[in-house]
Structure 1
Amino acid sequence: MIIKFYSKPDCGLCIEGLHTLKIVQEDIDFTIEHYNIEEDDEAHEKYMLMIPVVEHNGDVVQYGQLDYATLYEALVD
């Protein structure tokens, strides 16, 4: 399973969100693809006010303040 993680440099909430996602990764097997929205105009326009964003199969799983329970439930299926 591949999970897309959208963030940008110097984003404290993004650092915390990636840490939370990695904790979920300890319990569920998936690969994290990291995207810097500042390097992708389309992603920047789409997610600039939402980051960090976790996406799976083209659907946003969670954004902003990420939490273990929400991510785990969405990705465990």
Structure 2
Amino acid sequence: MIVNLYSKIDCSLCEKAKAVLQELQQECEFEINEIDIYQDDALLEKYQLMIPVVEVDGEELAYGRIHKEFIRKRLLERMTS
């Protein structure tokens, strides 16, 4: 499973979200694909006020403050379905 993390450089919320995902990698098997929204105008327009955004299979699971338990639950749901 691939988890997309939409973020930007020098974003403290983005760094915290990445740390949460890295912690969850110890429990669930997935790859983090970090995407800098400033490298794509369409992504910048879509996510500039929302980042960080965690997305799996085209579904935005969470944005802004990323809560570990919420993401854990959503990832486990996807792994068991």
Is TM > 0.5 for Structure 1 vs Structure 2?
A: yes
TM-score normalised by length of structure 2: 0.91
Q: Quote the Cα distance in structure 1 between the aligned partners of 2:24 and 2:50.
A: 20
Query: How many aligned residue pairs are there?
Result: 77
Question: How high is the sequence identity, in percent, across the aligned residues?
Answer: 39
1:42, CA displacement in angstroms? 1.0
Structure 1: gaps spanning 5 or more residues: none
TM-score normalised by length of structure 1: 0.96
Aligned to 1:56: 56
1:24, CA displacement in angstroms? 1.1
Once superposed, which parts of structure 1, at least 4 consecutive aligned residues long, lie more than 6 Å away? Answer: none
Q: Quote the Cα distance in structure 1 between the aligned partners of 2:63 and 2:23.
A: 16
Aligned to 2:8: 8
Q: CA RMSD in A?
A: 0.7
Q: Deviations over 1:32-69 (max 9, x none)?
A: 11100000111111111000000001010111000110
1:70, CA displacement in angstroms? 0.5
